Amino acid sequence: MRRLYQARDRIEAQFLHDLLDQHRISAAILGDYLSGAAGELPLDIYPTVWVTDDDDLPRAQALLARFLERTKMQVGSSWVCPNCGEPVEPGFDLCWNCGRERE
Ligand SMILES: [Zn+2]
């Protein structure tokens, strides 16, 4: 298992995880549950995205680069999924939670 990326927050980590999943790359998010578990822990524990299979790392890094590029180009405001009600960041046309397309 190889560390791919340290996310800003749980939502970003989840987006990246879902993107990898769509490309059949097995990944895991570590660390986010720690920050929610105990108030004494330092605040600089961010969720990290790990690639399960080392052989997938080059592909995962390529996807990460695209992912970050897309995040940078975000315009407008976030939207709320009409299906499940989850907030979705601008720049994404699919709900991270249920996969529904933006209307
Ligand atoms: Zn949804």
Q: What separation in Å is there between the alpha carbon of 14 and the centre of ligand 1?
A: 13
At 58 the pLDDT is: 96
Q: What angle do CA 75, 96, 90 make, to 5 degrees?
A: 5
Give the residue with greater pLDDT, 77 vs 22: 22
Which residues have CB less than 5 Å away from ligand 1 (the ion)? 81, 83-84, 86, 95, 97-98, 100
CA 10 to centroid of ligand 1, rounded, Å: 16
CA separation for the pair 35, 18 (Å, rounded): 21
Helix axes 57-72, 10-22, angle to 10 degrees: 130
pLDDT tens digit sequence for 18-45: 999 999 999 999 885 554 455 555 555 6
Report how far ligand 1's centroid is from the alpha carbon of 93 (Å): 11
Residues 6+ apart with CB under 8 A from 56: 25, 26
Beta bridge partners of 75: none
Measured in angstroms, how far is the CA atom of residue 95 from the centroid of ligand 1?
A: 5
Ligand 1 center from residue 83 Cα (angstroms): 5
State both tokens at 30.
Answer: 């570590």
Domains of the chain: 2-72 (3.30.70.790), 75-103 (no CATH)
pLDDT exceeds 70 at position 17: yes
